[in-house]
Amino acid sequence: MPARQIVFVPDPILRKKAQTVTKFDNDLQVLIDDMVETMREAPGVGLAAPQVGIPFRVAVIEYPENDEDEEAEPRLFTLINPEITRKSTEMVSGPEGCLSMPGYNGEVERHEVVTVKALNRRGQPVTYKAKGWLARIFQHEIDHLNGVLYTDRATKVWKLEPADEQEDSKANAA
């Protein structure tokens, strides 16, 4: 399965609210597999379907559930029709980047903890409670599905130096 082409700003698909997924067919399974491969090749830690030109509410994330454990293995999350159902009042600011906007980072304030309800790739309901960087990534990806870019929320945006781009995979949420 070939990796898909990533769409870059200012492509209008990145600004549209994605459509709800209603069919869990083979085409959806191929899309998910292609998105995982594309995310890994980029490399990134998350990718939303609009970023590969598909206007559906699908996102993939690969990041450890507990980022405080430096040896924790990344976990692959597939989110279909996700929604944030709870948010902490505590906010944290941190750097973010985006595969659709390479070469830039921004300082973005996000909820420290979120609860996300979604469907998995088989259409079964799942709920995740995420904190720290994983919560940031979930929020970033769900923003993509709503036509929102991290730069819309950033207090500051800067261009990365070439040396910084090599070390920036943690901030490259999507």
Say which DSSP state 85 is in.
E
Picking from 62, 39, 61, 48, the residue whose alpha carbon sits closest to that of residue 17 is 48
Whether 14 and 48 have beta carbons less than 8 Å apart is answered as: no
- Token pair 């929604």 is at which residue? 83
For residue 74, give the amino acid letter: P
Quick check: is 73 catalytic? no
Whether 81 and 137 have beta carbons less than 8 Å apart is answered as: no
Q: Rg of the Cα trace of the chain? A: 15
Catalytic residue among 65, 109, 141, 165: 141
Q: In angstroms, rounded to a whole number, what is the distance separating the alpha carbons of residues 126 and 129?
A: 10
For residue 125, cis peptide bond before it (omega within 30 degrees of 0): no
For residue 148, give the amino acid letter: V
Whether 164 and 110 have beta carbons less than 8 Å apart is answered as: no
Which active-site residues does the annotation give? 141
